[in-house]
Structure formats: structure tokens, C-alpha cells
Structure 1
Amino acid sequence: MRVVSFGDLGAAELDTWHALRAANPALDSPYFHPGFAAAVHAAGRAVQVAVATGGGGIVALVAYHREGRLLRPVGWPGADFQGPVVAAGGEFRPLDLLRGGPTGYAFDHLVDRAPGFEPWVVSRRPSPYLDVTGGLAGYLGRASKSGKDNMGQARRRAAKAEREHGAVRFVADSADPEALARVIALKRAQYAATGARDYFAEPDRARLLESLWRTRDGSFGGVLSTLHAGPRLLAAHFGLRAGGVLHWWFPVYDPEFARLSPGWILLRELVGAAPALGISRIDLGRGEDEYKRRAKTGQTQVGQGLVTRNPVRRAAASAMVHARAILRDVRTRTQP
């Protein structure tokens, strides 16, 4: 295994990356597309790539950041799927990542059944998705009762928004830079209001969204969707798209219109627009949020853990993950 800067990868290595990803359906998330690593690297956060070879060719690639002696998956903490880019049925030795000085590879959204990682996974959490094949009608045929009910309520609330605030207008793939700036501003306000860590406190992350939004190569890029009532932006979403998969990444809404549940209205419109966009699945990302539980048609699992040769560090990482799970469960049970 050798390690190179993403910027030093050649055309042959990038072609192999595309080929390995295409050969493995488990890697259809846009986070595994080399375009994501390229955008992160170009935004100012250095990306390194471990290139594993065997049998005369490249058999796996892993893009990551190095923080001192710890390795993090590319795009962390904003990467909702992580793991090696390897062909289906291929093999990978995670400990090989620690050659040359690193003491650990920490992951928190490891794709299900990533080869070689099972000994290092200390917990798993659900990552829901919507099968939107056939658009809204197809989705409703697969949705749970609560999903159908919420979509019905979204339709009625859209009509109410139109009566009270003006014509409702949905744009599935907006080219408005002011709308993107508004998404970031609303998300930062949400972080401040809830006490969550501000993802956009690091300047490179706003640059990352801007770069992804400008990417339009047909197979990969950012997608900005907006929902207006009259002149007002009710809700918006910035996500990543690769092929037929859209990742639900940064949804926001104007708190002034919270009673209309504008996020559900936007999601309903996006599901309806899915066939025209060429999208068959919307990944909602890890989490047990109420709206995800209601909206999903299925789910996969993502793993949390630490690849390390140090048993003490591994035990500490396991204890931390389980402590967070207990705290999360307590918060869920005590919510009104």
C-alpha cells in the first residue's frame, strides 16, 4: 500500500476508482465518488489516498484526512457513508492503513459489510432511505402509514401556505447563489439554537458546498432544492447526487413557518420530482429522527469504531460510543 495526495492521483488511478465503485452496488452513495474527495481537497482540506495493489493492479483505495497520528474518512465530520473503495467481494486489511506512523483510523458512518472491518466495529446505527422509484405514486405504494399520512398533511399544508402567503413554487435543482447562502445561514442559526456544533464554523466547509453546487458533470454534483410561498423561502435542501442516488444532507426551513411543516412539503415535492431528476433513492443519513422514521421505506446500517493496534485505545473508543448511545437513549425517552 502506498499513500499519495489526492492531487497527485493520475488518470489511470481515477479511472480505477470509478471502475471499482461501479462494480460494487454498496458504494453507490455519492460520498464514494472521487468527485467528493476532489471537492473536499480543492476546498482547502488536504485529502490523502491509500492505494492498495495486488495481482498487478489496484484493488482498493481509501481517501482520508490525517490529524496528527489519527486518520479520519474523507469529508469527516460531514461524510455520511465511509469505507474503502473496493470491488464487491474484494478483500481489504484495515490495519494496513496504519503503516508509517498513524495509530488509528476512526470511523462513524462505515458502510454495511465493509470488507475487513468487522473486528473494529463497536456499534451500529440505522441509516434510513426512501425508495422513490416511480416518483410520489411509487413511494406512497411502499411507504408506511405514517409516511403516507405525513405526505397527505404536506399536501394540505402546501395549499394552506399558498392561501396565506402566495403561490407555492418548488425548484428541484436551483441555480440561485443567494438560496445557497440562505441554506448555510439558516443551518448555522439552527446549530446555534440547538447548541449543536456548527459544521460551518470552518471556512472550508462553505467553500465545499459552493464547489459541489457548481459541479455539473452529469454523474455527480450538488443539488439545491428550494420551496417558496410568494416571495418567501419556506424551506430548502442541499444534497449530493451521484447517478440515481441523492443524499439528503443539509435540510433547512424558516422557523417563522414551522407550523406549516415546510420540510415535509419540500420532501414531498422532491419525491415527486425524482423521476425527472433520474433519482431512484434518497438516502436520509444516519439517525433516529422522527421524520426519518416516518418517511423511510427501508434502512441500512452504518458502523462506528476505531481501527487500532492498541487494545487500550480500542476499549476507550468502545466505551465512548456506548456512553453516547446511552445518553441518546435517555434524551429520546425524556423528550415530551
Structure 2
Amino acid sequence: MRLTSFDALGEEELDTWHRLREGNPLLDSPYFHPGFAQAVHVSGRPVEVAVGRDADGRVLALLPCHRERSLLRPAGWPGADFQGPVLAPGTSFSPLLLLSRGVRGFAFDHLLDGHADDHTDDHEDGHEDGEAGFGPWIESRRPSPYIDVSGGLDAYLGRASRSGKDNMGQARRRAAKAERELGPVRFEADAVDPKALDRVVELKRAQYAATGAPDYFATPDRIDLVNRLLHTRSPGFSGMLSTLHAGPHLLAAHFGLRSGGVLHWWFPVYDPSFAHLAPGWMLLRELVSAAPALGIGRIDLGRGEDEYKRRAKTGEVMVAQGLVTRSAAKRTMRRARDSMVEAAKVSPLGPGLRRIVRSVRSLLR
């Protein structure tokens, strides 16, 4: 297993990347496409790829990463909603092989279930480097919901929860109200509109500030990343900006990633001035309706506790959080941090405790 700069990958590695991904249904998310790693790398945040080969030199696995001194993180972190190695179905992966040449840990927070083995209790230091699976280093698992949009809106309504159906019905009525009050409602599924994307970033940053969440767009390379992705139209991978207007007003928009029949729901926003219309649901309804014509069969909503995701989803997969390390002390500290996080969620002193937790998290990353 060797780390190679993304721009030093040759035709063999890239061809194998595409071949392995296309042969493994688990990897149909756009996050596993080399186009995502390339866009992150070109935007100014270096991506290195761990390339695993067999005894004959054939590429068996690829894992794009960022290196932060002695720590590796998945490429695109903290905006990578699915993570894991690119490898053939049924192929084992030995994460301890990442810990060489000064690398002491690999931290993950959205590892797609299916990369983990089931031996989560064998969690001590006696692992051999050849032992496969991330299971021993998983600290928690959380759901990542999705919407099956095959067949469009009518088919979705047939499989949606009662709350999902209710919200879609309300979205239809509110769209009619918006048209009466504001002007014609216009939906554009795939708009290459830099000004609209600027507005998405502006609204998202305002949302982060209002909620106290970390500002993803605080560093210029991430703004550059979404702008590059907006103009990316390579076969099998692209950025996708969807907008919903009423008259002259941008009510809601979403910027995500697309690969084949999968759209990843990444940065949804709405104008708070029109919150009474629930424009996010209006936008989602339009996307579900347009899905068959767009060739989209699934919308991955990403991990999160948002109420609309719970209402809209038709299913979910699990993603795991953890750290591959040989340091027992580091694992103990992370377990203590996780216990503090869970306590803060249920405590009546939650807001103050959450500020403390954010500080502890920053120290233990």
C-alpha cells in the first residue's frame, strides 16, 4: 500500500479505478468517482491516493485521502458524505496497511457500511497488518437516508411514509399559493448558473451562522470546489444545481453531485423570507417529479438528523465513524469524547455543553 499524489496517477490506476467502481454496486455514489477526488485536488487541497497492489503488481484497491501531518482523512472531508476504498466486491481491505511512512491514523466519519467486517468486539492492539476490515475501529454507526425516485412522483407517493405523502401534498398547494402571490413558479433541474450558485453559498453560510454550525465555506478552496463542480460535465460525473423561482424570487436551490442514476443531496438552501411556503419541500417535489426524465433513480440525502430527511426517505444505509490507529490511548480519548457528545444531546444544559463538545472535538480530531 503506497500513497501517490492524485496528479501522479497513471492510466493504469485510473482505468482500474473506473473498472472496480463500475463492477461494484456499493460504489455507485458520485463520491467514489475519481472525478470528485480530482476536483478536490485541483481546487487546492492536495489529494493522495493509497494504492494497494497484489504480489504481481496489479491494482486491487484505491483510497483517496488528505494527509494532515500523521493523520489521513477521506478526500473531500468534511464534505464527503460517503467514504471507503474502491475495490472489487468481496475483496478484503487491510486498513492497518495505511499506517506506514509516518502515518499514524486514518479517521473516517461516513464510512459506507459494507466496508466493515462484523468483528467489532475484537478491538485491542493485537491486529496483524494483513487483517481485513474496518470493524475493529468503528466507534459508532448512523443512518444515511435516501429516496427511491424510480418511476417519479406517483411511484414515490406509493412507497413514501404518511408524512412524506403529506408534505408532498402541501408542497403542491404551496406552489400554487406562491404563484398567486409572487409570480410564475419556474423549476430548473440542472442550471449552470454561477450567480445562482453564489446565492446558494451565501444562504448556506447565513444558515451556518444562525445555527452555530461550522462554516463549510469558510475556506476559499471549498468555494472554488463547488464552482469547479458546477462546470464539470464529464461522462458519469457532474455537479448539478437545481433552482426554484417564483416570479423574480429564488425561493430554494440545491447543489449536489451526480453520477449515473444517483444524485447526492449536498447543499440545499431556501430564502428565509419565504419560509412560510416551505420552499425546500417544493424543490424536492419538483426533483422527484423530474427524476425519470433526468435518468435519476435514487437521491441520497446524506447522514443527518434533519426532520425533513426522516419524513422524505424511503430507505437508509448505515455509515460508520471511527479511527484506524495502533494507539490505545487515542481510542480511549475518542470514546470519552463520544460519551460526552451523547450526554450533551439529552442534557437540559445542552446548548452550553454542545459548545464545550465542539471544543473537545477540535482537540481530538
The answer to whether the superposition gives a TM-score over 0.5 is yes
Is the contact made by 1:172 and 1:224 (CA closer than 8 Å) also made in structure 2? yes
Report the secondary structure of 1:82's partner residue. coil
Report the secondary structure of 1:39's partner residue. helix
Deviation per residue, 1:77-110 (Å, 9 max, x gap):
0000001111110011001111111111100000
1:189 is matched by which residue type in structure 2?
A: A
Partner in structure 2 of residue 213 of structure 1: 230
Determine whether 1:103 maps to 2:120: no
Report the secondary structure of 2:234's partner residue. coil
Task: Give the distance between the partners of 1:34 and 1:103, measured in 2 at CA.
Answer: 25
Q: For residue 193 of structure 1, report the CA deviation from its aligned partner.
A: 1.1
Partner in structure 2 of residue 198 of structure 1: 215
Report the secondary structure of 2:233's partner residue. coil
TM-score, normalised on structure 2?
A: 0.89
Quick one: which of 307, 326, 330 aligns to 2:343? 326
Partner in structure 1 of residue 67 of structure 2: 66
Report the secondary structure of 2:241's partner residue. strand
Report the secondary structure of 1:110's partner residue. strand
Is the contact made by 1:129 and 1:282 (CA closer than 8 Å) also made in structure 2? yes
Deviation per residue, 1:204-260 (Å, 9 max, x gap):
000000111101123101000000000000000000001111000000000000000
Deviation per residue, 1:254-299 (Å, 9 max, x gap):
0000000000000000011111111100000001210000000000
Report the secondary structure of 1:161's partner residue. helix
Cα RMSD (Å): 1.3
Is the contact made by 1:305 and 1:318 (CA closer than 8 Å) also made in structure 2? no
Determine whether 1:308 maps to 2:298: no
Task: Give the distance between the partners of 1:74 and 1:324, measured in 2 at CA.
Answer: 25
What pairs with 1:135-154 in structure 2 (closer than 5 Å)?
A: 135-154=152-171
2:8 is matched by which residue type in structure 1?
A: D
Partner in structure 1 of residue 17 of structure 2: 17
Report the secondary structure of 1:282's partner residue. strand
Q: For residue 12 of structure 1, report the CA deviation from its aligned partner.
A: 1.4
Partner in structure 1 of residue 141 of structure 2: 124
Report the secondary structure of 1:163's partner residue. helix
Is the contact made by 1:304 and 1:321 (CA closer than 8 Å) also made in structure 2? no
Quick one: which of 246, 265, 271 aligns to 1:254? 271
Q: For residue 55 of structure 1, report the CA deviation from its aligned partner.
A: 4.8
TM-score, normalised on structure 1?
A: 0.97
Task: Give the distance between the partners of 2:347 and 2:145, measured in 1 at CA.
Answer: 21
In structure 2, relative to structure 1, the CA distance for the partners of 1:322 and 1:86 (3 Å cut) is farther
Task: Give the distance between the partners of 1:260 and 1:62, measured in 2 at CA.
Answer: 43
Task: Give the distance between the partners of 1:281 and 1:240, measured in 2 at CA.
Answer: 12
Is the contact made by 1:235 and 1:263 (CA closer than 8 Å) also made in structure 2? yes
1:198 is matched by which residue type in structure 2?
A: D
Q: For residue 177 of structure 1, report the CA deviation from its aligned partner.
A: 1.2
Report the secondary structure of 1:95's partner residue. helix
Gaps (5+ residues) in structure 1?
none
2:264 is matched by which residue type in structure 1?
A: H
Report the secondary structure of 2:166's partner residue. helix
Task: Give the distance between the partners of 2:111 and 2:278, measured in 1 at CA.
Answer: 31
2:140 is matched by which residue type in structure 1?
A: S
Count of residue pairs brought into register by the alignment: 333
Range with bigger deviation, 141-150 or 314-323: 314-323
Is the contact made by 1:169 and 1:229 (CA closer than 8 Å) also made in structure 2? yes
Range with bigger deviation, 315-324 or 41-50: 315-324
What pairs with 1:19-38 in structure 2 (closer than 5 Å)?
A: 19-38=19-38
Gaps (5+ residues) in structure 2?
117-132, 352-365
Quick one: which of 212, 233, 236 aligns to 2:250? 233
Quick one: which of 270, 285, 295 aligns to 2:287? 270
Task: Give the distance between the partners of 2:62 and 2:51, measured in 1 at CA.
Answer: 5
1:225 is matched by which residue type in structure 2?
A: S
Identity %: 67
In structure 2, relative to structure 1, the CA distance for the partners of 1:328 and 1:86 (3 Å cut) is farther
Larger RCO, structure (CA 8 Å, separation 6 or more)? 1
Task: Give the distance between the partners of 1:131 and 1:99, measured in 2 at CA.
Answer: 41
Partner in structure 1 of residue 262 of structure 2: 245
